[in-house]
Chain A
């Protein structure tokens, strides 16, 4: 459980870094491509596009990490079961 909490915390940090990285990338883009006023907000819009792109990448990383952690947890449980059964069979 402690390990899962650590993994989730790591994933959240990664997500935050990705969002900030994506926002930084936007500035670089502005230098090379078409200029955009403000933070690419259309009139009446409240969410900058870079934040949505960063959130998408962050979500992908988080979901994959959580899924891998779940597989690892299930594998550990099975390995314990295998060891337990092997011990019982050897002791016979």
Chain B
């Protein structure tokens, strides 16, 4: 696999962050109402943010593929879609672990939780469409990605529009600005997850580049009459 030079930098930063972040998170002060369990927040929020980022990157790649026929855009879209599913899974697993302690239940059919689950299903559908959809499935999947990206603002603003038990987005800015030791672990967790996202995206993109090379070789072999 041929990886671009920046991969090594972001992968190293992500690995370092994954080692350092837990120590900072554990030493962060306990939140008054939720106690220790609120520390899941430091993984949960960056995971959710990377899910949104993945959805937007996938939508961007899909737009360039749909309107300009860009193969690179399509490669970017499918790579980002897989990351959206991965980080979406992390969000949907870490959230209920927090909810069990904070709300007393694993899951609530709350607007934010339901729309996040919907986003995850849309990107699962994207990957299924690409794998089993047959000819023309790439365009169908690209359309699905746009619907998925449209769900992101809905998830983000759901806590402001509807009555919900999920904490509001202002909690994040409050913690980030706080001077009581909660801001630093949150910043480190965000940097770590962003680097992890970039490293995994490059890893997945290299796979798509290798796949394109295989397709080229298949065409060459077909022209030469070596394979039918």
Contacts and interface: CB of A to CB of B under 8 A. Distances in A.
Nearest to B223: A89
A47 interface: yes
A71 B78 CA distance: 13
A82 B211 CA distance: 9
How big is the A interface, by class?
Answer: 35 or more
A14 to B, nearest CB: 10
B47 interface: yes
A45 B101 CA distance: 8
Interface string A17-31: 010011001101100
Contacts, number: 113
A74 to B, nearest CB: 6
A59 B36 contact: no
Nearest to B34: A49
By Cβ-Cβ distance, the 5 closest A-B pairs, closest first, are: A25-B26, A49-B37, A85-B217, A49-B36, A56-B94
Interface of B: 1, 18, 22-23, 25-27, 29-30, 35-37, 39-40, 43-44, 47, 82, 86, 89-90, 93-94, 97-98, 100-101, 196, 200, 203-204, 206-207, 210-211, 213-214, 217-218, 220-221, 224, 226-227
Interface of A: 18, 21-22, 25-26, 28-29, 32-34, 36, 40, 45, 47, 49-50, 52-53, 55-57, 59-61, 63-64, 67-68, 71, 74-75, 78-79, 81-82, 85-86, 88-89, 92
